[in-house]
Amino acid sequence: MKVAVIGVGHVGLVTAATLAHFGHEVLGLDEDASKIESLERGVAPFYEPGLQDLLDEVLGSGKLRFTRDAARAIDGADCAFICVGTPARADGEANLLAVEKAALAVAGNATGDIVVIQKSTVPVSTADRLHLMFAKATIHNVRLVSSPEFLREGAAVEDSLNPDRILVGSDDPRAHELMKELYAPVLGDSCRYFEVDIHTAELAKHACNAFLALKISFANALARVCEASGADVDAVADIMGSDHRIGREFLNAGLGYGGYCFPKDLLAFKAVAGRLGYEFGLLEEVIKINRGALQAAVDKIKDALWNVESKKILLLGLSFKPGTDDVRESPSLNLARALTRLGANVVGHDPQANKFAVRELPGLQVVDDLYEGADGAHCIVICTEWPEFKDLDLVRLKGIVTLPIIVDGRNLLNEEAVVGAGFSYIPTGRPPVNL
């Protein structure tokens, strides 16, 4: 099939490359000149494991091309994916301006009947708006589909090539047939296919992200109680998780959830529920606990250092999670902001995200060599659980820091080894050791 993908960010680019890998003719459209220029040179504009190899393959075969010209992208397309950003407005509602713009580009440039697949995460009922808009803006028949993605950054290529589910919402039977054809290469025993109405698909995506965030906030609330009582939050999570009705995943306490999706999706879900007449107080609490998880880390650092002013604090990990260079809504950067406000001298190190961290937080000092950052530090904080931080040379670190204090915001390190090397260790969700 001939496919246009509008918006080649984290979701759109992986989707476009996967569809090209499955043999479709794909044109990726984006208005960001630097992104298109990088892709035309064959270089992925952000770090995502496996993406560069996949791009090499599909650019080599000619199945994937890029353009900034909407008419060229939409001309003759059987379907168009909308994969643009839906950031939060000040009142929490999703800002759907980019979705509207993408839909107008399809309407204005369609050369025949077309299937429009809305992949951006949007509030329930967005499809009604799009239906109305297409009815006015084009003479062609537009079959509208909501097919939210469940990609995790850092594992997006793997998730896209081997999805655990495909969700297709549409009120048009022919659209369902076409979508089955499009997704045929991934449909197998390990992938469940959900064929539902369009509102159910839209709502399901918000429900999934909100529930995952709820699990994380539950773990973070538990962490506070464990710290106060002497219990161990990871052991509690293991015990809970061994009950298959609960499941162990997303019960890791830490600095709270971040990233492009959860923070804005929680706000948008709460806002749309409120607009529909249901006050979703549970989501409010999830958001509040998430803020509290970061504040708990700030309090621990203050408590350990007494006066934070002018103390050097090294933050290890700046991306919102390991395996990505994405720093959007990163808890580490929020921690850097909070500590800087308190007068600390904050230095950051990340295996992939240093460049993007400085762009997001100008003035943040970053180091490529974490031992250089640790030199003279009064406190080291593990913010993101990059696997390489597990192998820190603790003896070397002990020799160069001013104060041997490690705050483990992700419970990554081995407590015995840290304490054995002479550090005070302040984990998450269990009492500090050697403080």
* Closest CB 113 distance from ligand UDX, rounded Å: 29
Q: Does 317 bind ligand UDX (CB under 6 A)?
A: no
Q: Is 272 in the site for ligand UDX (CB under 6 A)?
A: no
- Tell how strand 64-67 and strand 79-82 pair up: unpaired
Residue closer to ligand UDX by CB (options 81, 257) is: 257
- Tell me the longest C-alpha to C-alpha distance in the chain: 73
Please identify, among the stretches 23-31, 53-61, 65-73, 244-252, the one whose residues bind ligand UDX according to the rule CB under 6 A: 244-252
User: CB-based burial of residue 279 (10 Å sphere; 0-12 exposed, 13-18 middle, 19+ buried)?
Assistant: exposed
Residue 328 found at the interface with ligand UDX (CB under 6 A): no
Phi, psi of 427 (to 5 degrees): -85, -175
Output the smallest distance, CB 277 to ligand UDX, in A: 27
- The residue annotated as part of the active site, out of 79, 83, 226, 261, is 261
- What values do phi and psi take at 180, rounded to 5? -65, -40
Residue 158 beta carbon to ligand UDX: minimum distance, rounded to whole angstroms: 12
* Tokens found for residue 302: 């203050």
Q: Are 202 and 122 in contact (CB under 8 A)?
A: yes
Q: Which is nearer to ligand UDX, 66 or 356 (CB)?
A: 356
User: Site size for ligand UDX, by CB under 6 A?
Assistant: 19
> Which residue among 153, 227, 325, 350 contacts ligand UDX (CB under 6 A)?
153
Alpha helices (H) in 22-154, listed in sequence order = 33-40, 51-60, 70-74, 97-109, 126-137
φ and ψ at 78, to 5 degrees? Answer: -80, -30
Among positive and negative, which fits the CA dihedral 28, 169, 191, 84?
A: positive
User: Is 261 noted as a catalytic residue in this protein?
Assistant: yes
Considering only the stretches 104-112, 251-259, 358-366, 421-429, report the one whose residues sit in contact with ligand UDX under the rule CB under 6 A: 251-259
Under the binding rule (CB under 6 A), the answer on residue 152 touching ligand UDX is yes
Q: Which of residues 208-227 bind ligand UDX (CB under 6 A)?
A: 209, 212, 216
Sheet containing strand 165-169, strands side by side = 64-67, 25-29, 2-6, 79-82, 114-118, 142-146, 165-169, 192-196
User: By the 8 A CB rule, do 136 and 153 touch?
Assistant: no
Residue 207 binds to ligand UDX (criterion: CB under 6 A): no
Least distance CB 54 / ligand UDX (angstroms) = 17
Positions touching ligand UDX (CB under 6 A) are: 149-153, 209, 212, 216, 250-252, 254, 257-259, 261-262, 320-321
- Active-site residue numbers? 261
